[in-house]
Structure 1
Amino acid sequence: MKPASFFRFALPCALALSSLVLPGTAAAQAYPAKPVRIMVGASPGGGTDILARVLAEKFGRDMKQSFIVENRPGASNTIAAEITARAEPDGLTLLLATNTGQAIAPHLLKLKFDPIKDLQPIGMVAVMPNVLVVSSASPYNNVKDLLAMMQAKPGDAKYGSSGLGSTQHIGGEAFNLATGTKAIHVPYKGSSQAHIDIIGGQVDMMFDTTSSAMAQIKGGKLRALAVSAPKRTPELPNVATLAEQGINGADVTTWYGLFVTRGTPPAVVARLSEQLLSTLQSPEVQTRIKSLGGEIELMSVEQFAKLNQGDFERYGKLVKAANIKAE
């Protein structure tokens, strides 16, 4: 081939290759060109909603675009997850999920999507211990008082949760197993609705996340009896763990993580991961999460994907062992 012929052949090929590479790169650089939804599977005011709004504010400021929190409560957080799974893979629909929807509910509900295959992990946002709470007007000042009532009136006690298969639900069943008692599960569409009935005396207790319950605890409406985690939370230093009060094997924590529709361009996934890591290192965000009793654990996309898969398998075994059924 003569040199002139070679260049006439090579130039169109180079342009063709560049057309394959540049759009993805350009899309990532321009992302997000439109407002972004952050889907939340719980009601306004709950822990997931609070964290989503913290992220939306910081993401919006840094990325100079609107990030809008959209609440779609119900079905153990899976309604919001399905909307995200079925969205266009353009990075404009995000999901702030918990291990409730990602790792527990799929073993209890017949879903029309696969939370592992249809949702792309971005990263961990926070880990929250669950805390056993009762109404501040109740006569229970510690776990011993509560257990005395449960043992005197078997089957009378009721515990609330943010929904079937939530970590609050799992926490209640773990407590039943560990203490040999039987409190009846009462599911709600989010923690804030459950709080109303606990404060009103219709439900006795709840194993809620610190992120959801902290405002009511600090406001004097709910009383914290125990932290269901290996160690006390700094935000509730005087509240003993379940283990410190003689109850072992009932610890349950809740993690919150960011996901996007599977098939979203890798460059956009990387951009979201970068923004999340930057956000979580912001002093203002760290202060906000810690005030909710949460702990921040920075993870790469790959690390979070591994955790997500591992919890899916672990909770599947737990649901089977505890014989938890869809109600």
Structure 2
Amino acid sequence: MLVALSDRPYNDLAGLIAYAKDKGRATIAVAGINQEVLVRQLAQEYNVNLVPIPGAGAAEAMTSALGGHVDATTQGTLHVAQIKSGKMKQLASIIDRRVPYAPNSATLAEQGSKAEPLNSHTMLITPRGLPDPVKTCLKQALDEAIRTPDYKAQMDKFENEALNLGEEGNRDLNARLADFYAKILAKN
């Protein structure tokens, strides 16, 4: 998610873009190359100086934001407690959907951006040539496990949601993302 301290003078992507144009730039602490790519996409799309500030991970990015050293940060889940405490606000969902803990925070696409949303998935990968009966059994067991109350409770604990894209869905997602990042990183 794209988040900022609650006292910042912007509440959404448009506000952050206007702030950056007015001030000449806005700094955004990021925890990974995919987040840096996203910030650079937004800078190019809106013709504004958005400066990604890479760090050693999400905790460092959060510390930079909480300390007021940057104008915003991209986060996975560390920001949720800060939002609940009132210290931070979410400017945009940088994944392809709104999230349960911030249902009023629109996605980048809903806010008019064409930037590629981030994706984060946990995948079960098996060796090539797995016998069909074993593959079918694993697919069924995974689907059942994802729908259990215990797994839902675990996902709720992490402010996340369980999705099962299935074999084809994962293959399609990985192919699309591999193509996207190959193209975007080749330009840089």
Band the TM-score falls in, shorter-chain normalisation:
0.7 to 0.9
Residue type at the aligned position of 2:69: Q
Deviation at 1:151, TM superposition (A): 0.7
1: CA distance, partners of 2:109 / 2:168: 33
Contact 1:228/1:250 (<8 A) preserved: no
SS in 2 for 1:224: strand
Does residue 256 (structure 1) correspond to residue 121 (structure 2)? The answer is yes
Higher relative contact order structure (alpha carbons within 8 Å, sequence separation ≥ 6): 1
1: CA distance, partners of 2:60 / 2:142: 29
- In the TM superposition, 1:177-216 aligns within 5 A as 177-209=44-76, 211-216=77-82
Q: 1:281 aligns with which of 141, 147, 154?
A: 147
Residue type at the aligned position of 1:133: V
- In the TM superposition, 1:161-310 aligns within 5 A as 161-163=30-32, 165-166=33-34, 168-209=35-76, 211-229=77-95, 231-245=97-111, 247-259=112-124, 266=130, 270=135, 273=139, 275-289=141-155, 292=158, 294-301=160-167, 303-310=169-176
Q: List gaps (5 residues or longer) in structure 1.
A: 1-130
Instruction: Decide whether aligned partners of structure 1 residues 160 and 298 sit closer, same or farther in structure 2, where only a CA change above 3 A counts.
Output: same
2: CA distance, partners of 1:310 / 1:244: 21
Instruction: Decide whether aligned partners of structure 1 residues 291 and 135 sit closer, same or farther in structure 2, where only a CA change above 3 A counts.
Output: same
What residue is the counterpart of 1:319 in the other structure? 185
Deviation at 1:187, TM superposition (A): 1.3
Deviation at 1:262, TM superposition (A): 5.1
Aligned length: 185
SS in 2 for 1:158: strand
Identity of aligned residues (%): 26
Does residue 148 (structure 1) correspond to residue 18 (structure 2)? The answer is yes
1: CA distance, partners of 2:70 / 2:47: 20
Instruction: Decide whether aligned partners of structure 1 residues 232 and 153 sit closer, same or farther in structure 2, where only a CA change above 3 A counts.
Output: same
What TM-score do the two structures reach when normalised by structure 1?
0.48
2: CA distance, partners of 1:302 / 1:141: 38
RMSD over aligned CA atoms reads 3.0
Greater C-alpha Rg: 1
Structure 1 or 2: more strand by fraction: 1
2: CA distance, partners of 1:213 / 1:239: 14
2: CA distance, partners of 1:251 / 1:292: 24
2: CA distance, partners of 1:284 / 1:208: 25
2: CA distance, partners of 1:304 / 1:230: 15
